[in-house]
Amino acid sequence: MSERKKRLIVVGDRVLIQPEEGEDRTKVGLYLPATAVDNQAVQGGTVVATGPGNALSAPTELNDEPWKVGAPEPRYLPVQARIGDYAIFF
């Protein structure tokens, strides 16, 4: 079975992060299971994809002309993170 890259669509103000490989050994050389590590440990990784941002409605968009045909293109407040940025998360 060949591995194919899956195409993910990131929506809203979400980001997709590829986590760094963490150390599974202590400084002394002991291997730690996943249950022994703190649940809320701070992690880091690289931003792989970002969503378009938060959708903004046009200030003049009122429902007083329901016969109008066609909707304007959606506008978004972009996400601050960019692809390739380093992110720290819980």
* Max Cα distance, the chain (Å): 73
Q: What is the pLDDT of residue 69?
A: 66
Residue-averaged pLDDT of the chain: 78
Say if 81 falls within a structural domain.
yes
Predicted confidence (pLDDT) at residue 15 exceeds the cutoff of 90: yes
Of 7 and 85, the one with more pLDDT = 85
pLDDT tens for each residue of 16-52: 999 887 656 666 766 666 666 655 567 789 999 999 9
pLDDT band at residue 90 under the 50/70/90 scheme: confident
How many domains are contained in the chain?
1
The token duo for 47 is 């931003």
Answer whether 24's CB lies under 8 Å from 32's CB: yes
| pLDDT on residue 49 | 94
- Residue 32: inside a domain, yes or no? no
Residue 68 lies in a domain: no
Q: 49 with 82: CB under 8 angstroms?
A: no
Asked if residue 7 has pLDDT above 90, the reply is no
Look at residue 34 and tell me if it is in a domain: no
According to DSSP, the residues that pair with 75 across neighbouring strands are 56
DSSP letter at 75 equals E
User: Count of CB atoms within 10 A of residue 21's CB?
Assistant: 6
In angstroms, rounded to a whole number, what is the distance separating the alpha carbons of residues 71 and 63? Answer: 12
pLDDT of residue 63: 59
78 is a domain residue: yes
